[in-house]
Chains A and B, each alone.
Chain A
Amino acid sequence: MAAVSRPVQEAPLPPATSPLASTPSDQTVAEPSAQSSAPSPVVLDVRDLKTYFFTYDGVVRALDGVSFKVRRGETLGLVGETGCGKSVTAFSVTRLIPDPPGRVIGGKVLFRGIDLLWGLDAEAKIKIDPKTGRAKVKRSFRRIKSGLERMSAVRGRGISMIFQEPTQAMNPVFSVSNQLSEALLLHHGTTIIDDLLTATPLAPEVRPALEALVEATRGGGGPDAARAASKKVGEAAHLRTFGTQSFYLVRDSDLSSEDLLRRLQKGLRRLHLSAFEKAYVRHRRRQMLVEDQLHELYLSEMREGRVDRRQRGLLRARRIRLKASGFFYGIWGIRGRIQRPLRDETFWRSVQLLEEVSIANPVQVARGYPHELSGGMLQRVMITMALSVDPTILIADEPTTALDVTIQAQILELMRGLKTRIGTAILLITHDLAVIAEVADRVCVMYAGQIVETARAVDLYQHPLHPYTQGLLASIPNLERPDKRLTSIPGSVPDLIHPPPGCRFHPRCPYAMPVCKEVRPPTTVEGSEHTVACHLYKGAVSVE
């Protein structure tokens, strides 16, 4: 036990918020371009991103020079057809591209001034045979592993993701609360443990608060009165979750008032940590602190572009020491008992989170397993999980595609509400222009691995410039004017192994000119915050 309490005390406590929030605000702001009209700083700056997939058939140029910016608190829509590289963009930004076969081979992803792609070119050496077009990729798996570890400092608190198919994104063998708890412990572990340690379940003022709660619920004061009373209970016990717990216990039970009080008291006694349990949660807290410090170190590595080997070695050694000294807590039979308080606390915290996304019966949902929930419900859980860690950026990859319209309306409403409440920047990826119109502030239109047009949502829908955007908008059946014949874009999305030369849209473009077949059009500025990549427009070349 002596070994347990010794090592970590000298480490300074990180600030209560995440290390990401404490980074000095945004180096990218210093850049003069395009900042005058929009006051909020850029949180994600993607420049000339290139992602290739090296397959047996050849090199698929899935992303070929994609640039965009996401500002704080804004929703950027990324729209395009199947296979245009929307999801690849999201995966490249979070470095989730399956490697092999894919690799991000160029460009920059600056997340609040941190270069997320730093160290990536060291992970693999790529040689493309100019004659056959086949590639030779030599990977360094040690470097890949350390790159993955580095990214874990950004994923979650920095960039969080919602995936397309909610039924496949959840683990089927763990309950919903279990999976929510994992995210919570990973990112808010120290606060949770601090709350547990400062709770006063046996304080004398808890009992009258409990009596008031039973009174309020049984007396028919309505749910609002019960809510208020349960909040008081939580305050009295200095543990917010106990209020939630007792609220649902009182609401759902049919015991007599005395029995109920006895049950609640029993719950309180369980909340009181034994010396053994205290030792365990303190040990966990120390581990979490080391993880936090490591994450901070990784972030500064990516920011400054070099490795502090000594510090990294020290922290890793400390992590290993802590793991070894905590072996006792991991013994089967002991583990289950001492983990109970932490498990209960995270369970009720996940219930609170589920309440926030207006799930009617959060306790049952939290206890349930993914297969027991409907798609809309699961998507709410996914959103909860992604937002439980207060991310700076939320990447939503087709969040409503698998859902019915009425459920889609619910989810979009939810996302709009959360955006205004939390102020998270959202990168919304979808093929549905109508969904984008509902929620996005600015829109990027993608075609065959390139961004062809970027504009504010209002401008894009009223004055689309690029022929592809125009065609896309004309091919949506309009609910207001159904008799109009649908205009379709002839042909289909090109093969990205042998993309058309010049402008990639020219084989399908009604305005194709000779120059389109040879020169890739530069991105030009056409009006405020409206850029387009097309030879029809002769504006100033954008300085991205």
Chain B
Amino acid sequence: MINDQSPILISSYNLRKYFPIRGGLLSTRIGDVRAVDGVTLEVRESETLGLVGESGCGKTTVGRLLLRLIEPTSGHTYYHPSPDVLARLDSLYSTLQGSAVPEGNGGTAAAQAALKELDEIADQYSLYRLKRSKMKELRGKLQIVFQDPFSSLSPRMLVRDIIGEPLAIHHAGTRSQRYQRVAELVQEVGLNPEHLWRFPHEFSGGQRQRIGIARALALRPEFIVLDEPTSALDVSVQAQILNILKKLQSEQRLAYMFISHHLSVVRAMSHHVAVMYLGQIVERAATEDLFSRPLHPYTQALLSAIPVPDPTLKRERIVLKGDVPSPAAPPPGCRFHTRCPAVMPICSHAEPPLIEVRKAHWVACHLYPPSGSEPTSSPRLTPPIAGAGALDADAPRAA
């Protein structure tokens, strides 16, 4: 997974987030919504990772997990991992994958040892095991811009206070220094300093989104999660916001995770793209590679479904049947097999692993068998904690 590109800023392994469904008499846990189910990804310094998928596929949850706005059910994220730690992690996870450990219990001695070592590394470096004070320090480096500019700004605060709040919380400089910084920020995102004395309701959607971006920039972050920053905006304003984001990235060497369901926007913004379907990443590659030669049937369908603003261009269109299944009861095997145009018998029981089919092009589909020898049972990354295994056993019943 280590390429000769810019260094890795954030690396996540096997992220899972299950939201409990409560019901029955004592509102006990009667099931789980598997919002994110085994997501492994990396974000490189001053690059953009686009995260694409339909609504309800877990894009936003992944974004929040990376910032530790919510705690994962299992899995770890490493921020600024050193190369040797990364190498060790990769080798450990591949050991686990190769030996196909029965979930949660036993397995080979090598796998046991690997699990133990992973736990030790996580104790030391994982974002989810940091102490509160350490985490607060990091928060300044990890920021987010929310989807809806109408509900993400407090209606009772002046723009000055909204943008200055992160600075105040982190005690950055004196009051006048903070004010100066806020005035700078406002100009960076293309607003006037006179706007500082207004309330959010006095602004249009595009201007509010600029305020949201200025707030995220306040503490000079290294990584910003952009959670559908333009989906509430008109095209002409969307272009303004995207241009600002690009300019800021090149000036301040920011890394973005750009979450969107709009593929053409993602293509314009990202260096790498990961396609999600029902809580899992089905394909991950460099943007050019993914858009010119998509491998996964879902990606192909998604790409062909985008309307093109050119009436003379008539393309071959793959129209998927049916709807996205519920993440509370995902189909067994490959999650896409219920809608897949190229479905095979194996798809309904074996879950395809995410494998590197071409250089830096990862895909999870049975159409692309791994080149080397591969165990026949479903090879998959094991969750480092026990207990998640018990949940997996429920999948066929729930479906």
Contacts and interface: CB of A to CB of B under 8 A. Distances in A.
A374 B56 CA distance: 12
Contacts of B243: 485-486, 488
A489 B236 contact: yes
Interface stretch (A387-395, A434-442, A526-534): A434-442
B10 interface: no
Interface in B216-244: 234-240, 242-243
A478 interface: yes
Interface string A392-418: 000000000000111111101100000
B310 A461 contact: yes
Contacts of B319: 406, 409-410, 413
B302 A406 contact: yes
A473 interface: yes
Chain A interface category by residue count: 35 or more
A407 B323 contact: yes
A320 to B, nearest CB: 47
Given A406-B320, A477-B265, A488-B239, A435 B311 contact: no
Given A82-B234, A413-B319, A482-B267, A404 B261 contact: yes
Interface in A212-230: none
Contacts of B306: 405, 434, 479
Nearest to B298: A406
Given A376-B323, A485-B243, A405 B261 contact: yes
Interface in B194-212: 204-207
Contacts of A408: 305, 307
A91 to B, nearest CB: 20
B264 to A, nearest CB: 4
B54 A405 contact: yes
Given A404-B54, A410-B320, A486 B268 contact: yes
A428 interface: no
B322 interface: yes
A208 to B, nearest CB: 36
A406 B237 contact: no
Most buried by B among A406, A458, A486: A406
A402 to B, nearest CB: 9
Contacts, number: 126
B179 to A, nearest CB: 27
A530 to B, nearest CB: 14
Nearest to A408: B305
Contact of B267 (A471, A474, A477): A477
Nearest to A462: B312
Chain B interface category by residue count: 35 or more
Nearest to A492: B204
Interface string A489-513: 1101100000000000000000000
A461 B311 contact: yes
Most buried by B among A374, A413, A433, A438: A438
B165 to A, nearest CB: 26
A487 B239 contact: yes
Interface in B153-208: 204-207
A360 B322 contact: yes
Given A462-B312, A479-B263, A472 B291 contact: no
Given A406-B320, A462-B312, A486-B242, A434 B265 contact: no
A479 B264 contact: yes
A478 B267 CA distance: 9
A472 B236 contact: yes
B92 interface: no
Contacts of A458: 311-312
A247 to B, nearest CB: 21
Given A376-B323, A431-B234, A477-B268, A437 B301 contact: no
Contacts of A462: 312
B386 interface: no
Contacts of A137: none
A475 B302 contact: no
A359 B204 CA distance: 40
B287 A461 contact: no
A374 B339 CA distance: 16
Interface string A366-378: 0000000010110
A344 interface: no
A62 to B, nearest CB: 17
Contact of A406 (B54, B235, B242, B311): B54
Interface in B123-170: none
B302 A476 contact: no
B55 interface: yes
A432 interface: yes
Interface string B290-311: 0100000000011011111111
A523 B238 CA distance: 29
Contacts of A413: 317, 319
25 contacts: A82-B234, A374-B324, A405-B261, A405-B263, A406-B302, A406-B319, A408-B305, A409-B305, A409-B319, A431-B235, A433-B309, A434-B307, A457-B311, A458-B311, A461-B312, A473-B309, A476-B235, A477-B242, A477-B265, A478-B264, A479-B291, A479-B306, A479-B308, A482-B287, A492-B206
Given A410-B320, A487-B239, 18 more contacts: A374-B324, A406-B320, A408-B307, A409-B304, A409-B307, A431-B234, A437-B311, A440-B311, A461-B311, A462-B312, A472-B236, A476-B264, A477-B264, A482-B264, A486-B242, A488-B237, A492-B206, A492-B207
